Amino acid sequence: MDMLKGKGAVVTGATSGIGKAIATAFIQAGASVLLCDLNEKALDDASRELGDRAVGRITNVSDETQVESALRAAQETFGSLDIVVNCAGFGAITPLTELTADKWNAVQAVTLGGVFFGVKHGARLMIEQGRPGVIINISSVNGRQPGEGQAAYCAAKAGVDMLTRCGALELGSRGIRVVGIAPGLVETPLTRKELEDPAMRDLFLGVIPMNRAVAAEEIAAAAVFLASDNARSINGDTIAIDGGSLTRGYPALLTGAKGHN
């Protein structure tokens, strides 16, 4: 499969979970990928595993200078910057009234700010090189659906969805598409602990009509399609890959968990 042959890509949060699945799928589709993450050992391991077309770079996505430098490094290394995937992000399950300013700011800085920097500087470089590109923002069903104890994360992901729409509006005429993917429950190292708790797993699966979690590889397959010319008219939309959970409601992670005790 050579849907992305010869493309230069950047994936943030690329050493585990959804980010690593996307980087892996991109390389299998023919692209070269700059893997961005904070964990040096994980970067080394992932780069070695993915082969010669994978390059690791320590990057704190909440630092604009580091994001810009990483994107420029990819352009210089691969000869062009064709795809940017803004995947890095995190949240915290904390009641709204107990959410500290520091935790709020940390979530916004990475989960929303990192996407903003990726869109801004990815687009600048694509315009500078005169070669159209695609920017993919990894959002969440929580961009549309509130979750108990997730005020910071939900607000950040709602912001990601709007950045995607604004980016598509402003950059489409320059040949740059900005699209999003909103995963539902995905089995990753970040969610494994919760899903190993039978009560928590029941809460999540109870709101998914398909009664199963999404595989990271399913998100990656969608990212390959969106980055390819097969999706050349998809711009500004955020596609939910959630087993249908948006048809119901988000699990009650605070009051629901207590009810299972």
CA torsion sign for 101, 106, 109, 111 is negative
Structure tokens at 222: 């969608």
- Residue 137 has phi, psi (to 5 degrees) of -105, 125
Show the tokens assigned to 220: 């990656």
Residue 247: count other Cβ atoms within 10 Å of its Cβ: 11
Distance (Å, rounded) from C-alpha 177 to C-alpha 197?
40
- The active-site residue, picked from 26, 78, 116, 153, is 153
250 in active site: no
Q: Please identify every residue annotated as catalytic.
A: 153
